[in-house]
Structure 1
Amino acid sequence: MTRRTVGIAMNGVTGRMGHRQHLLRSVLALREQGGIPLGDGTAVLPEPVLVGRSEHKLRHLAEQHGIARWTTRLDEALNEPDVQVYFDAQVTPARYDAVVAAIKAGKHVYCEKPTANSLPEALELARMAAERGVKTGVVQDKLFLPGLRKLKRLLDGGFFGRVLSVRGEFGYWVFEGDWQPAQRPSWNYRAQDGGGIVLDMFCHWQYVLRELFGPIRTVQAVTATHIPERVDEQGRTYPATADDAAYGIFELDGGVVAQINSSWATRVNRDELVEFQVDGTEGSAVAGLRRCRVQHRSVTPKPVWDPDVPSTVDFRAQWQEVPDNHEFDNGFKHQWELFLRHVVLDEPWHWDLLAGARGVQLAELGLRSAAEGRRLAVPELRL
């Protein structure tokens, strides 16, 4: 098989998400499997060039995984003749300038969300890329989770009839960092560093709701900083200036109402860290990261409210498991594969920087809704 190498300048891969999901489980995994077969005897082989601020971390990472090239200078990586793609998993405030530099260098861009700190910046990136003919992609990993892919299968098959509502629960307890180390980096809880659960998770909820159920037309949100003080990686106490919980209501095209709670200050009493319940006229489903269970109209029980008598009904046992019927790969890796096929073969792709800007728009409107205490319209974005 003929190998076609695509160089990828990967910025921010010493961080948790960039390292685990994008470098190890996506790009290196694709390289280890021999590349991405194109069906004509050719395979696309991704070749990473590591970029970051810490020379020590980059050198260690490169030696650990047999990566030949790394640099602390972005311009140096962008000037590599075989580098066709720039990937960004840095903290949000650093993303705009780096993506601008990549677009000006004529590189295709794939990046984490949110794509920028503000909607004007996010739209400017999308416009700049469109004007220069650069292909772009934004990570929208939740769409590729096995549970949501099963849910999409149900939607495509008409299982629900008319969808009525969506209810989502996401989150877990992130330790404060004093008596147990926090499992998320401290910048997540500082607004001045691009932190906050709205900016993080509303970008996800935008594409999940839009892709599965339809465009969001209004948003109403309440935000909170439930844990006002945390301890950082150096053991220093700092004030949490960003929201760590958000409670949102979204009205979608067609009258569907979605309610999604997001919190880093909640303890989990559900089967998975995120779950969505979808109710329709013909049936309901509960989808998580991997599982999806359904209850059809024909087998829906008839509960009777009686608080004076202990319930003997096992409601969970009345739901049916949706089978895999498919071997699901890592969602990040799968989207990487689709993006690289888009770059090489120009295959259809719509998860671009404009899609990323919609996420930033919803986050901004969610924060504004919470500040003003009212429901806000979500206009459709155009370049």
Structure 2
Amino acid sequence: MTRKTVRIAMNGVTGRMGHRQHLVRSILALREQGGLELADGTRLWPEPVLVGRREPALRELAGRYGLERWSTDLDAVLADPATDIYFDAQVTSAREEALRKAVAAGKHVYAEKPSATSFEAALGLARLARDAGVKHGVVQDKLFLPGLRKLSRLIDSGFFGQILSVRGEFGYWVFEGDWQEAQRPSWNYRTADGGGIVVDMFPHWEYVLHELFGRVRSVQALAVTHIPQRWDERGKPYDATADDAAYGIFELDGGAVAQINSSWTVRVHRDELVEFQVDGTHGSAVAGLRTCRLQHRSGTPKPVWNPDLPVTHSFRDQWQEVPDNEEFDNGFKTQWELFLRHVYEDGPYRWDLLAGARGVQLAELGLRSSAEGRRVDVPEIAL
């Protein structure tokens, strides 16, 4: 068996997502299983190089996980010919410049979303990577959630008949930071730093809708800042200038309509932090992070509106659980494996920087729709 070391510069792993999902549950998990075996028997061995601005945090992370390489000098890491792949999980405002440097250095690039702070910049990155001939990808992790994979299975089987509508609910209460510490960083609530729930979540909704139901043809959105003041990591108050909730309607190819509420100012009264209900002529389903329940038309009850009598049955009990039927690995790790196969054995990978640009485009048009109070068409884009 041949072992090939793959050196991956990982920028932004001191943050929550970069640390937990990408470093620990993806790259280090791949190392724990002995690497990634390719079709020809070669075993890829990922060797992370931790990159960031805070030297003490990098040193502590490297020591905790027994890693030898870390640096605060991104230029030096990219100049090293031993570096194969650049991964970016920084704050959005710093991502474009770093990705451009990595592409210019001839590195394959993989990045969290959104890929840039503007659609023009995101599309420019996709064209830059294409012209440089490097492999490129954007994280689109929701597609690999067990609940959505079960939902995809139902769609592929024709279970729904004609899909009529999609209803999504996402969110939870993010503490303001005064009497309880906030569970999201303060930059998320400052527009100047790339914050806002539209910028954060509409790129997710774009690829979920695009992949499962059809391209988004138009968007009508209302973005709101419900809580105008929050407290930062030092306990100091600051003005929240970015939207913390967004209410969107998306018209899809094929005629289906999606309605998705996104909020960091909502208390959870649902089974999971995100749920999608899909209604079709032949059946309906509700998918969350891990579970998916269905109701076929042959088993659909006939509700009758009668406010004078109490309901004597549970509507939830009338739905059937979709079985796992397979073992679901961590979605971030699964996508890392696909990207590595794309780079080293030319495996298929359609979630590239152009797909990332579509997400930024939808966020930008969603904010325009909210500002102008109207529905906005979403034009198709191409390199």
Residue 80 of structure 1 deviates from its aligned partner by 2.2
For 2:185, the equivalent position in structure 1 comes to 185
How large is the Cα RMSD of the aligned pairs? 0.6
Amino acid of the residue matched to residue 260 of structure 1?
A: I
3-state SS of 1:255 partner: coil
Who is 2:204 aligned against?
204
Say whether 1:217 aligns with 2:217.
yes
* Alignment match, 1:65: 65
Runs of 4+ in 1 over 3 A off after TM superposition: none
- Residue type at the aligned position of 2:302: K
| Cα offset, 1:313, TM superposition | 1.9
Deviation at 1:82, TM superposition (A): 1.9
Q: After TM superposition, give the deviation of residue 41 of structure 1 in Å.
A: 2.4
Three-state SS of the structure 1 residue aligned to 2:254 is helix
Deviations 1:122-178 (A, max 9, x none): 011000000010110000000000000000000000000010000000000000001
Shift of 1:31: 1.1
Q: Map residues 160-309 of structure 1 onto 2, 5 A cutoff.
A: 160-309=160-309
Cα distance in 1 for residues equivalent to 2:368 and 2:42: 50
Q: Are 1:53 and 2:45 counterparts? A: no
Quote the offset at 1:81 in angstroms: 2.3
CA deviation after TM superposition for structure 1 residue 30, in Å: 0.5
1: CA distance, partners of 2:22 / 2:103: 21
The CA deviation at 1:274 is 0.1
Which amino acid counterpart does residue 246 of structure 1 have in structure 2?
A: A
Give structure 1 stretches of 5+ with no counterpart: none
| Aligned-pair CA distance for 1:273 | 0.1
- CA shift for structure 1 position 119: 0.7
Q: Which residue of 2 aligns with 1:328?
A: 328
Mapped partners of 1:114, 1:209: distance in 2: 16
* Deviations 1:92-126, CA, capped at 9 Å, x for gaps: 01001100000000000000000001011101100
The one-letter code of the counterpart of 2:280 is G
**For each residue in 1:53-79, what CA deviation from the matched residue of structure 2 results, as whole angstroms up to 9, or x when unmatched?**
011000110011011111001011112
TM-score (norm 1): 0.99
Report how many residues are paired: 383
Whole-angstrom CA distance in 2 between matches of 1:89 and 1:3: 27
CA distance in structure 1 between the aligned counterparts of 2:31 and 2:11, rounded to whole angstroms: 18
Q: What percentage of residue pairs aligned between the two structures are identical?
A: 74
Amino acid in structure 1 at the alignment position of 2:188: N
**Cα distance between partner residues in 2 of 1:305 and 1:103:** 60
TM-score, length-scaled by structure 2 = 0.99
Instruction: State how far apart, in whole Å, the 2-side matches of 1:35 and 1:204 are.
Output: 29
Give a deviation string over 1:340-381, Cα, whole Å, max 9, x none.
Answer: 000000111110000000000000000000000000000001
CA distance in 1, matches of 2:161, 2:147: 20
Q: Residues of 2 paired with 1:80 and 1:330: CA distance?
A: 31
Instruction: Provide the residue aligned with 1:117 in structure 2.
Output: 117
